Amino acid sequence: MSQRVDLHIHSTASDGQMTPFEVVQCALERQLRAISITDHDSVVAIEEAQNCARDTELEVIPGLELGLAHRGADVHLLGYFIDPRSPELLKALDRFRRHRYRRGEKIIDKLNRLGVDLRMETVMAIAGDAPLGRPHVADAMVREEYVNSYREAFARYLGYHAPAYVPRSGVSLEQAIDLIHHSGGVAVLAHPGVLSRDELIPEMVEMGLDGLEAYHYIHDQETARRYVLLAHQHGLVFTGGSDCHGGRTSGRHLLGKVPVSYHCVTALRKRQKWLGLRSVTPS
């Protein structure tokens, strides 16, 4: 058994293209010691993956990824060791799902005005039960031949600076961190190198942020090292994962291919214990 882990994977429960079963199979083939399926605004893959991994040596750590707008930035927050049955969490995720649906309608509206005659039904057929995300819209645009590729859909229409972009709403960064904590989890800033707003990190630490995702497929070695160092400086843990979405962009090959050690899991567990102790200590 290797000590390698992948703590950032998406499944068909959000915008990934592998089912939870396929994610577990792939992780077993690659002899990973632990994985976390961190679906966008969804925890439904967790128990399924844990069941698939039962009687194997693969550990499936509960996780999720929340997206929100903060100071003009598209901030992604990972939550680890959350309780996927937490009523407060499930209620919030249900609310986010409804926000995502309404945002989808706004995106479609903008696309229609731009001459792309896409319909909500087409997009929802692709999303299925998953909370609606831009990748589902992009897939629909490729299928209906409004663009030649998934990437083109983001570059011309759906990306942050593109004309059909609609920001997420519904939750602030502070509320998202609290939600993860109240669900028993540890809050980690996803791919800070992609966000590229390091000046926001001290304030996030004040809000209770627990960690930085130092290793990510977009981060080069130097970037990863910088975030490990920054995590140490702020007393945070660091984590890492591939952000594999299955075949759509970078493919299945990405799963487990960003080298991350099991030490990250141990550090997350320690942090979770510390948070628990802190919350019962009278102030």
Of residues 96, 154, 157, 238, which one binds ligand AMP by CB under 6 A?
154
Q: Which is nearer to ligand AMP, 168 or 181 (CB)?
A: 168
Q: Which is nearer to Zn ion, 64 or 116 (CB)?
A: 64
Q: Is 16 helix (H, G, I), strand (E, B) or coil?
A: coil
Q: What six digits make up the tokens of 224?
A: 């990863």
Q: Is 191 helix (H, G, I), strand (E, B) or coil?
A: coil
- Does 243 bind Zn ion (CB under 5 A)? Our answer is yes
- Does 191 bind ligand AMP (CB under 6 A)? Our answer is no
Q: Is 77 helix (H, G, I), strand (E, B) or coil?
A: strand
Of residues 6, 11, 13, 15, which one binds ligand AMP by CB under 6 A?
15
- Does 193 bind ligand AMP (CB under 6 A)? Our answer is no
Q: Scan residues 45-74 and list those touching ligand AMP (CB under 6 A).
A: 67
Q: What six digits make up the tokens of 251?
A: 């493919």
CA distance 96 to 272: 25
Stretch that binds Fe ion, among 68-76, 113-121, 249-257, 263-271 (CB under 5 A): 68-76
- Does 8 bind ligand AMP (CB under 6 A)? Our answer is no
Q: What are phi and psi of 115, to 5 degrees?
A: 90, 5
Q: Scan residues 246-275 and list those touching ligand AMP (CB under 6 A).
A: 249
b vs e for 116-145, b when ≥16 Cβ sit within 10 Å of the residue's Cβ? bebebebbeebbeebbbbbbbbbbbbbeee
Residue whose entry in the numeric block shows the structure tokens 């709403």 = 169
Q: How many CB atoms lie within 10 A of CB 174?
A: 15
Burial bucket for residue 204 (CB in 10 Å: 0-12, 13-18, 19+): buried
- Does 211 bind ligand AMP (CB under 6 A)? Our answer is no
Give residues in contact with ligand AMP (CB under 6 A): 15, 40, 67, 133-135, 151, 154, 159, 168, 245, 249
Name the site residues for Zn ion (rule: CB under 5 A). Answer: 65, 243
Query: Which spans of this chain sit near Fe ion (rule: CB under 5 A)?
Result: 15, 76, 190
